Amino acid sequence: MDGFDLMMKFKEQCDNLKTPIVSSNLKTVEKNGDVYRAVLEDGIEIDAISIILAVGRERRKLSLPKEEEWTGNGVSYCCTCDAPLYRNKKAAAVVGGGNAAVEGAVLLAKYAETVYLIYRRDELTRPEPILLKVLHQTDNVKVLYSTEITELLGSDESGLTGIRVNKSWEGQDELTIDGLFVEAGADPRLDIPNQLGLEINPNTGEVHVDKGLNTSVAGIYAAGDLTDGTELKQTITAASQGAIAALSAYQHIMEVKSGWQDAKSSAPAGVSGD
């Protein structure tokens, strides 16, 4: 089944369970007693006992002309995901100097004939020593230090076919490559978490969650790439966290509703807790 059909199945399941899907941007969340008010971009307000935040992260870009247009056509932001597409290709490049870039270059080297690892500083200091050892044992990865990409080369028909660099490599300032991987990090989207005062992991900058995907604020859960729940940021781990967060959110709703019953008070207007 392809991705689109799978999404339609998810939508059908939501429709059958009478779960509305609202397509909009969440702008603010305010707390009022046990209830959160989520205000969407188009003015829609939703009152909820629990909220699961799954707003992901923003990949850092090179901000070069054509980068956006050629994303998926020679430009990628995830070696783990797209490296196998470069099997038997002549050359690919990875930009970055952290663990993800080094791991990505080593992985890509299993598929492409030559891999250029392009780093703007003169030494790789951030990656784990074991990764650096593996990198130096991988003959077909060429590390270009103190180098930055100044231009993406190609056409809208072919997509990316090469890059221009500010420091020549073996006498060339143009490198012909089949793919460019930007592994320069990604920033969790923290607007809403910061509004709510959620605890942020100081080491990773991600929303801190426990095993139940609880954040530091009762009733607010977080799942996926936004969180420090797992280092492996993939669809399957995000989906698994979504399931765990949903169960935690459900349990929280039951507790709050039973508290209202004990106090013989009713839910605030418009909040069913369903």
Tokens, residue 243: 């399931």
Residue 126 binds ligand FAD (CB under 6 A): no
Whether 78 sits among the annotated catalytic residues: the reply is yes
Task: Give bridge partners of residue 52 from the DSSP assignment.
Answer: 221
Beta-carbon contacts of residue 65 (< 8 Å; ≥ 6 apart)? 151, 152
Residue 46 sits in the site that holds ligand FAD (CB under 6 A): no
With binding defined as CB under 6 A, does residue 236 bind ligand FAD?
yes
Q: Which is nearer to ligand FAD, 55 or 165 (CB)?
A: 55
Q: Would residue 82 show up in a list of annotated catalytic residues for this protein?
A: yes
Q: CB atoms < 10 A from the CB of 203, how many?
A: 8
* 81 among known catalytic residues: yes
Q: Is 60 in the site for ligand FAD (CB under 6 A)?
A: no
Question: Rounded to an integer, what distance in angstroms lies between the CA atom of residue 167 and that of residue 185?
Answer: 23
Site for ligand FAD in 1-30 (CB under 6 A): 25-26
Residue 188, CA distances (Å) to 22, 88, 134 in order: 22, 34, 29
Element (H, E) at 148: none
* Active-site annotation holder among 34, 82, 178, 225: 82
Closest CB 258 distance from ligand FAD, rounded Å = 30
Instruction: Determine the interface stretch with ligand FAD among 43-51, 108-116, 129-137, 231-239 (rule: CB under 6 A).
Output: 231-239
CA angle 7, 81, 209 (to 5 degrees): 75
Annotated catalytic residue: which of 14, 42, 81, 187? 81
In the list 46, 48, 64, 78, the residue contacting ligand FAD (rule: CB under 6 A) is 78
Query: In whole angstroms, what is the distance from residue 205 CA to residue 209 CA?
Result: 12
Sole binder of ligand FAD in the list 224, 249, 253, 271 (CB under 6 A)? 224
Active site residues: 78, 81-82
